[in-house]
Copies of this chain bind each other. A is one copy, B any other.
Amino acid sequence: MDDARLSVWLDTIWQDLHEAAARRRGDLPNATIASVNEDGAPSLRVVVLRAVDRAAAELSFHTDVRSEKVLQLLARPASEVLFWRPADGLQLRFFGQADLFLPGTLKATAAYEAIPEKGRRKYRTAPAPGTPLPAPDALDFAEAAPGAADPGLARFTLITFRVSRIDALRLDGSDQTRAFFHLDGDRLRSATWIAP
């Protein structure tokens, strides 16, 4: 990489994601994470970026162990995370591996304990995500009985996504700028401008 503009752009990308995760504002906290289902077809959903660790090249997300993406990502961890910021036409594609920390793991418990009470509610629902309901509001929220274990803790799952490559694209009217960044943890293996 002999073009300082590439390393400046990469710094900006990490900085923007770090701020998005910390402030939870704007479009970047909402990412799309892809998995592949048992038929080999792709499966998408919007998730909230919870933490960014540039030194480890890791992004973190939260999910319910009962959601279909958990089994899909366990079966095929190679996945992709896409960010899209319409205000300046920024598309960021992150390629990497999803590591799942299931309920009962130290990392999942620590992450759950850092969530405010309001955010824990959605992990206490019954029936499981994807189950037919007789009415849109027929979802039950179990409350943790005093002294009993929190039912949400038994479902909360932490996803850390280890990034190995970034495909960054900026659309500015009819001009487009695009670059590939290959990462190895905190080390930048290569960076290249790419035809959009």
Chain A residues with a Cβ under 8 A of chain B: 3, 5, 27, 30, 32, 34-36, 39-46, 76, 78-80, 82, 84, 86, 91, 93, 95, 118, 121-122, 125, 127-139, 174-179, 192-196
How far apart are the CA atoms of A175 and B194 in the complex, in Å?
Answer: 43
CB-contact partner of A174 in B95, B122, B178, under 8 A: B122
Known: A30-B86, A174-B122, A196-B139. A42 touches B132 (CB 8 A): no
Q: How many copies does the complex hold?
A: 2
Contacts of A39 in B (CB 8 A): 78
B76 near A133: Cβ-Cβ < 8 Å:
no
How far apart are the CA atoms of A41 and B43 in the complex, in Å?
Answer: 11
17 chain-A/chain-B pairs, Cβ below 8 angstroms: A32-B44, A32-B82, A36-B36, A40-B78, A44-B82, A45-B82, A45-B93, A46-B82, A46-B84, A122-B174, A122-B196, A127-B195, A128-B195, A129-B195, A132-B194, A133-B195, A137-B175
A194 near B130: Cβ-Cβ < 8 Å:
yes
